[in-house]
């Protein structure tokens, strides 16, 4: 279902949002769910968690197997065969903790207003591009009352087992098919918080708005090649200017 009733516009724009560390912080809850799912499929405790910023669930899982010596050689099943069961266990573990997401997590400053106001721009379609698998992404958004602001059907999720740049390309294709619009590099924006997300925007054909609300500083994000860098989402007008400025020259219709 679309985030809002669609009306024809002179210019179509696609805005993709990362979730974790860009819009909200639920790390405490998701780490516990991750550890539970990891033990369930490998039979081993998750002693060391790999770098998660900008990664997808599939990438993080394979890194975790290596770091925790739970890959081929320590289990009867190779890592590729474990990924499917892990994804299912993770979805269940997050769902079981859904009541804790808002209680122990938080929306980041300005996140709700930024998403709402960007959604009011002419011709904008909003979705998510996230390393989270789709069920957990939806749980996170729902916990903070954000789900209705995005068209989750066309988004990109970590369950796709592809790098984010490839996921972005696929999301653009789904959006083009659903909305009968040509979402070009100049009418597509990815708003996220890590250098890997900036790289994904370059690979996937999108402009990038990097937000220094995660582990990476504004300087690191600039060095990564972000088109625009914001300290956070608290200045709604700055977010609107960034999206508008990066897409107004594009021909997305």
What's the confidence (pLDDT) of residue 77? 52
CATH topology of domain 13-25+106-247: Rossmann fold (3.40.50)
Asked if pLDDT for residue 134 goes beyond 50, the answer is yes
Q: Which of 47, 56, 130, 135 is nearest to 89 (CA)?
A: 135
**pTM as predicted:** 0.88
The SS3 of residue 127 is: strand
Distances (CA, A) of 13 to 21, 68, 71, 117, 214: 24, 43, 42, 14, 26
Asked if pLDDT for residue 34 goes beyond 50, the answer is yes
Q: Across the chain, what does the average pLDDT equal?
A: 88
- Residues 45-68: tens digit of each pLDDT: 887 776 666 677 777 787 788 878
Q: Which of 14, 8, 7 is nearest to 155 (CA)?
A: 14
Please report, for the chain, the start and end positions of each structural domain, with discontinuous segments joined by +.
13-25+106-247, 27-102
**pLDDT tier for residue 80 given thresholds of 50, 70 and 90:** confident
Asked if pLDDT for residue 72 goes beyond 60, the answer is no
Distances (CA, A) of 8 to 38, 41, 71, 128, 180: 46, 47, 51, 22, 10
| Structure-model confidence comparison of residues 56 and 10, the more confident one | 56
Asked if pLDDT for residue 7 goes beyond 80, the answer is no
Q: SS3 letters for 64-115?
A: HHHHCCCCCCCCCCCHHHHHHHHHHHHHHHHHHCHHHHHHHCEECCCHHHHH
Asked if pLDDT for residue 73 goes beyond 50, the answer is no
What's the confidence (pLDDT) of residue 239? 98
What's the confidence (pLDDT) of residue 9? 42
Task: Identify the burial level of 99 via C-beta atoms within 10 angstroms of its C-beta, where 0-12 means exposed, 13-18 middle and 19 or more buried.
Answer: exposed
């Amino acid at each position: 279902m679309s985030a809002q009733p669609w009306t024809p516009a002179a210019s179509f724009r696609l805005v993709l949002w990362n979730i974790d560390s860009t819009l909200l912080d639920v790390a405490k809850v998701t780490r516990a769910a991750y550890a539970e799912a990891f033990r369930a499929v490998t039979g081993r405790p998750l002693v060391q968690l790999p770098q998660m910023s900008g990664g997808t669930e599939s990438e993080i899982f394979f890194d975790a197997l290596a770091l925790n010596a739970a890959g081929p050689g320590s289990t009867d099943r190779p890592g590729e065969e474990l990924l499917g069961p892990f994804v299912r266990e993770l979805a269940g573990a997050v769902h079981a903790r859904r009541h804790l997401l808002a209680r122990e997590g938080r929306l980041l400053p300005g996140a709700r207003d930024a998403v709402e106001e960007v959604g009011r721009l002419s011709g904008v379609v909003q979705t998510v591009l996230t390393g989270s698998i789709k069920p957990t992404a939806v749980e996170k958004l729902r916990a903070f009352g954000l789900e209705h602001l995005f068209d989750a059907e066309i988004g990109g999720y970590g369950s796709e087992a592809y790098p984010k740049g490839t996921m972005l390309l696929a999301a653009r294709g789904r959006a083009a098919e659903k909305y009968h619009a040509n979402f070009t590099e100049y009418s597509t924006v990815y708003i996220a918080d890590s250098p890997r997300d900036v790289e994904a925007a370059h690979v996937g054909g999108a402009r990038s708005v990097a937000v220094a609300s995660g582990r990476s500083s504004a300087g690191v994000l600039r060095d990564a090649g972000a088109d625009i860098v914001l300290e956070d989402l608290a200045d709604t007008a700055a977010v609107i200017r960034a999206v508008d400025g990066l897409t107004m020259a594009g021909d997305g219709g």
